[in-house]
Amino acid sequence: MTDGRRDHSTPAHRVLFSFSTRLGTPGIGTTAWNQVAALAEQGVQVTVACGSLERPLPLSVRVIETLRPAGIKLPYRALGFDRTVDLHDRRTARLVRRETYDLVHCWPAGALATLRAAAALGLPALLERPNAHTRFAYEVVAEEHRRLGIPVDPDATHRYDAGRLARVEAEYAAASHLLCPSDFVAGTFLDAGFAPERLLRHRYGHDPERFPPGEPPVDGRPLRVAFVGTGEPRKGLHFALEAWLGSAASATGRFLVCGGIEPAYREYLADALAHPSVEVLGQVPDPSATMRSVDALVLPSLEEGSALVTYEARASGCVLLVSDRAGAPCVHGQDALVHRAGDVAGLSAHITRLDADRDLRIAQRGGSDRSYRGDQRRVQAFSQ
């Protein structure tokens, strides 16, 4: 079949989908939820093993909550994250050994035993890679913090952790294939010596009901740009602010900062954040409304997987001003302006171009018709 529909004269594929924490929560929990829902829509028989389910799935999906035995939710903080996801992993690995599946799909953390159980049975064992190779991410984050003179937050997910690195690299080795949502992610694994045939490209998406398109730019209105995300050096807010203040747009336009900012980083950025053209909004209740109110999203990340906010912003009608490491689903000059990570002058020039040229803002705007809801390319390929 090539139209996305299953031929029901053949048996449905049987997939075990593993997500070690709370499935259906914002962020990757929603991305994974949509993957499951899309598989079910394609007629795939899906068994979900998740720590807990926080949003109902289609009735055809079988759900096993590994961290909610007898309806009692185990406390992640009391047990510790590593012990909790390890418990999930061991319970999910038992499912692989006891039941019959055609394919196992794991999200990282709490996946090693499951991947190894699948490999022992000769099953395709796919590992989702929502970020770049962890060693690469650790090194990039550490180097930028050193350059800025800011200590890495002890609770940051990208703070160097030798034990965690060893575990995730063991997961990489155990998987038959790694699911990479961007060319940038795939490139970090190629650079680490992975065979190209082990890397499968797919993509994420957005919810068009939550992120409808905004209106075209208003004639004569000064440029409005937003940074939406956690304020941390990895996401390059310092690059964005320096580029903005070095552009002509800062004289009349507005730069909105949406999201919390790490305390030490906020102190480093204090002068830039105090500029009259910059408005710090903190966490906003409706990011979609904010993105519909601006002309562009800026995300000059040093390391991402495929930032979900770029899908959402493009669907909302924003021009993407992104680095080549943001993993954004875009093409420079067609629906985005892409700069080399860390190139402040290049980003500043892009901001100045948008400020001066309303027609360019319209030509470069995103739209929901150019994006995908969920992981459709992989789903369709699997269902054929």
Residue 232, domain CATH: 3.40.50.2000
pLDDT at 380 over 50: no
Domain membership of residue 8 (yes or no) is no
At 8, the amino acid letter reads H
Distance (Å, whole) CA 125 – CA 123: 6
In this structure, are 197 and 257 located in the same domain? no
Asked if residue 357 belongs to a domain, the reply is yes
Domain assignment present for residue 335? The answer is yes
Question: Which segments of 192-281 does DSSP mark as H helices, in order?
Answer: 237-245, 263-268, 270-273
Question: What is the mean predicted confidence (pLDDT) over 145-169?
Answer: 91
176 is a domain residue: yes
- Banded pLDDT at 153 (limits 50, 70, 90): confident
Question: Which pLDDT does position 68 carry in this prediction?
Answer: 82
User: Quick check: helix, strand or coil at residue 130?
Assistant: coil
Give the least confident one: 41-50, 169-178, 247-256, 357-366.
Answer: 357-366
Question: CA distances (Å), 147 to each of 16, 150, 173, in order?
Answer: 44, 8, 32
Q: What's the rounded mean pLDDT across residues 4-24?
A: 77
Once rounded to an integer, what is the mean pLDDT over residues 3-14?
58
- In this structure, the answer to whether residues 358 and 379 fall within a common structural domain is no
My answer on whether 202 and 305 are in the same domain is no
Over 50: is that where the pLDDT of 41 sits? yes
Whether residue 230 sits in one domain with residue 284 = yes
Give the tokens for residue 10: 């053949």
Q: How confident is the model at residue 2 (pLDDT cuts 50, 70, 90)?
A: very low
Residue 151 has pLDDT above 70, yes or no: yes
- Together in a domain, 36 and 80: yes
Mean pLDDT of 278-307: 94
Chain mean pLDDT for the chain: 89
For residue 265 the two structure tokens come to 């980083």
Q: Has residue 341 been placed in a domain?
A: yes
For residue 3, is it within any domain? no
Q: Which of the four pLDDT bands, split at 50, 70 and 90, describes residue 37?
A: very high
pTM for the complete prediction? 0.88
pLDDT band at 365; cut points 50, 70, 90: confident
Least confident of 229-238, 262-271, 354-363, 369-378: 369-378
What tens digit of pLDDT does each residue of 286-300 get? Answer: 999 999 999 999 999
Distance CA 76, CA 163 (A): 19
pLDDT at 384 over 60: no
Please tell me whether residues 340 and 379 are part of one structural domain.
Answer: no
127: containing domain: 14-206+373-383
Higher pLDDT, 330 or 235: 235
Q: Is the pLDDT of residue 27 over 80?
A: yes
Cα 276 vs. chain centroid, distance in angstroms?
32
Is residue 300 within 8 Å of residue 284, measured between CB atoms? no
Residues 41, 55 within the same domain: yes
Distance, in Å, from the CA atom of 349 to the CA atom of 228, rounded to the nearest integer, reads 21
Is residue 119 domain-shared with residue 72, that is, in the same domain?
Answer: yes
Residues 328, 248 share a domain = yes
Q: What is the pLDDT of residue 350?
A: 97
Look at residue 364 in the predicted model and tell me its pLDDT.
79
**Higher-pLDDT residue of 361, 316:** 316
* CB contact set of 285 (below 8 Å; sequence gap of 6+): none
Judgement on whether residues 181 and 229 belong to the same structural domain of the protein: no
CA distance 193 to 201: 17
**Residue corresponding to tokens 């030798």:** 162
Q: Which of 179, 44, 17 is nearest to 106 (CA)?
A: 17
The phi, psi pair for 91, rounded to 5°, reads -70, -35
Q: Which two tokens stand for residue 77?
A: 């903080």
Q: What local confidence, expressed as pLDDT, does residue 382 receive? A: 28
Is the pLDDT reported for residue 373 higher than 80?
A: no
Question: 179-226: per-residue pLDDT in tens?
Answer: 999 999 999 999 999 999 999 999 998 888 888 888 777 767 899 999
Helix axes 162-174, 112-120, angle to 10 degrees: 20
pLDDT band at 366 (very low <50, low <70, confident <90, very high): low
Note whether 49 and 99 are same-domain residues.
yes
Return the beta strands (E) in the chain as ranges. Answer: 14-23, 45-53, 62-65, 103-106, 125-128, 177-180, 199-201, 224-228, 254-258, 278-282, 296-299, 319-323, 336-339
**pLDDT tens figures, 97-140:** 999 999 999 999 999 999 999 999 999 999 999 999 999 999 99
Say if 217 falls within a structural domain: no
Asked if the structure places residue 271 within a domain, the reply is yes
200 with 249, same domain? Answer: no
pLDDT at 10: 57
How many domains, in total, are found in the chain? 2
